[in-house]
């Protein structure tokens, strides 16, 4: 299976190329970068310090879609919208890890998913996907006597907050309680906030250093507290999960899938 990586010179882009090269039955179709990027025109192998791999980095995503069976996108929201349109036109599998997508950008992904398989997850690690399922179940069992707070920490370069994963965990908790997250969330607190409303799902964001991604979901009641925690120590887990998602989606009917579908959770 030929897999192309858009945004291949990014932190995740490089990891994704390594993951494709390491995966059985996969070949690297090539990559793209923003027009004007230093990486354009170079061989992907050169970028990875591996010598020539015969996989060119271009700035024309249409060409990459046409020569790939699946394309993996961990870029930025505006680029992801463009890539979703190309996936729909070419019928290629699209795996999206970009976070911070607006409702409008997500609607573009849904439109592409009407025509081709799209896997979209705020976090492609197997551990976090399991944490999502556990969070939904715990929220359903514990009920709203237990206040839910979600705390996350990421490296200093991260540009969106709360993290897409934290919001995904919030959605899982809200689903467990059969409510909509945007009706009950509190994404940050400052100043005189008043007492905590019952049923609220709160978020707290920490940023610093090189933290790959820590998430804790707390269920705090009078007399006890349950905490579910996941800590990622290498970005390689996201890349490995995304390649697994691309292999799983190949040959599936059009649709918008999540990592929980990929793992059968
Ligand atoms: P990064 O800034 O290092 O990489 C993004 C790359 O995309 C850059 O190289 C940039 O030049 C490139 N790019 C931007 N616009 C482009 C375009 N139009 N065409 C081609 N390339 C383009 O960022 P990163 O740390 O690699 O993260 C990228 C995204 O992935 C972020 O949204 C991040 O939150 C998300 N992420 C998701 C997961 C997950 O499991 N879902 C895990 C880690 C990071």
What is the rounded distance in angstroms from the CA atom of residue 165 to the CA atom of residue 215? 8
pLDDT value at residue 52 = 92
When divided into structural domains, the chain yields a total of 2
Catalytic annotation, residues: 154, 158
Q: Looking at residue 75, which CATH number applies to its domain?
A: 3.40.50.720
Of 67, 66, 3, nearest to 244 (Cα)?
3
Q: Whose CA is nearest to atom 39 of ligand 1?
A: 123
Query: Containing domain of residue 155, as a range?
Result: 126-232
- Cα separation of 202 and 186, whole Å? 5
**61 CA distance to ligand 1 middle (Å):** 15
Q: Are residues 203 and 248 in the same domain?
A: no
Instruction: Looking at the CA of residue 98, tell me the nearest atom of ligand 1.
Output: 32
| Pair 32, 109 in one domain | yes
Q: Residue whose CA is closest, atom 12 of ligand 1? A: 7
Does residue 239 sit in the same domain as residue 116?
Answer: yes
Please report, to the nearest 10 degrees, the dihedral formed by the alpha carbons of residues 30, 242, 164, 110 taken in order.
80
The CATH number that applies at residue 159 is 3.30.360.10
Task: Find, among 250, 149, 131, 165, the residue nearest to 201 by Cα.
Answer: 149
Contact assessment for residue 247 and residue 1, using Cβ atoms and an 8 Å cutoff: yes
pLDDT by residue (tens digit) across 75-88?
999 999 999 999 99
Q: Using one digit for the tens of pLDDT, what is the confidence trace for 106-117?
A: 999 999 999 999
In 146-221 the beta strands, taken as DSSP E runs, fall at 147-154, 185-186, 201-207, 213-221
Query: Quick one: 32 and 83 in the same domain?
Result: yes
CA dihedral 25, 59, 88, 10 (to 10 degrees): 60
* 165 shares its domain with 140: yes
Same domain, 203 and 105: no
75 Cα nearest atom in ligand 1: 7
**168 and 114 together in one domain:** no
Same domain, yes or no, for 213 and 243? no
State the pTM of this model. Answer: 0.88
Site to probe by mutation for ligand 1, drawn from 36, 42, 59, 99 as the one with most ligand atoms within 8 Å of Cβ, is: 99
Give the ligand 1 atom nearest the CA of 159.
34
Question: 97 and 227 share a domain?
Answer: no
**What was the pLDDT predicted at 66?**
98
Residue position matching structure tokens 């911070």: 100
What is the structure's pLDDT at 229? 98
Q: Which residues line ligand 1 (CB under 6 A)?
A: 6-7, 9-13, 32-34, 37, 74-76, 79, 97-100, 121-124, 238
Measured CA distances, 106 to 24, 101, 135, 171, 228 (Å): 31, 6, 23, 15, 28
Residue 29 predicted with pLDDT over 90: yes
Give 79 Cα–ligand 1 centroid separation in angstroms.
9
Average pLDDT, the chain: 97
pLDDT over 90 (residue 122): no
Q: Indicate whether 254 pLDDT > 90.
A: yes
Q: Same structural domain for residues 202 and 177?
A: yes
Q: Same domain for 88 and 144?
A: no
Cα separation, 89 vs 66, in Å, equals 10
Cα 52 to ligand 1 centroid, rounded to whole Å: 24
**228 and 255 share one domain:** no
Measured in angstroms, how far is the CA atom of residue 142 from the centroid of ligand 1? 36
The two structure tokens encoding residue 229: 């925690």
Tell how far the Cα of 12 is from the centroid of ligand 1, in angstroms. Answer: 6
241 CA: nearest ligand 1 atom: 40
What 3-state DSSP class applies to 187?
A: coil
């Amino acid at each position: 299976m030929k897999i192309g990586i858009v945004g291949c010179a990014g932190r995740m882009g490089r990891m994704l190329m390594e993951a494709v090269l390491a995966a059985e039955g996969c070949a690297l179709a090539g990559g793209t970068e923003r027009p004007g990027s230093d990486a354009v025109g170079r061989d992907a192998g050169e970028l990875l310090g591996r010598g020539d791999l015969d996989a060119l980095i271009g700035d024309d995503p249409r060409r990459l879609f046409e020569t790939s069976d699946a394309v993996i996108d961990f870029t930025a929201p505006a680029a992801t919208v463009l890539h979703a349109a190309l996936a729909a036109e070419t019928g290629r599998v699209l795996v999206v890890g970009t976070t911070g997508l607006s409702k409008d950008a997500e609607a573009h992904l849904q439109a592409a998913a009407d025509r081709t398989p799209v896997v979209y997850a705020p976090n492609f690690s197997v551990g976090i996907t399991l944490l999502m399922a556990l969070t939904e179940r715990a929220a359903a069992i514990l009920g709203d006597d237990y206040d839910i707070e979600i705390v996350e920490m990421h490296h200093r370069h991260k540009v969106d907050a709360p993290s897409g994963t934290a919001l995904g965990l919030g959605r899982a908790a809200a689903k467990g309680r059969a409510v909509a997250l945007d009706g009950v969330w509190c994404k940050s607190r400052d100043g005189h906030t008043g007492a905590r409303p019952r049923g609220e799902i709160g978020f707290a964001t920490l940023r610093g250093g090189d933290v790959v991604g820590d998430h804790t979901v707390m269920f705090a009641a009078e007399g006890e507290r349950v905490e579910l925690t996941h800590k990622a120590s290498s970005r390689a887990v996201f890349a490995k999960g995304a390649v697994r998602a691309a292999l799983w989606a190949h040959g599936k009917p059009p649709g918008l899938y999540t990592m929980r579908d990929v793992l059968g959770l």
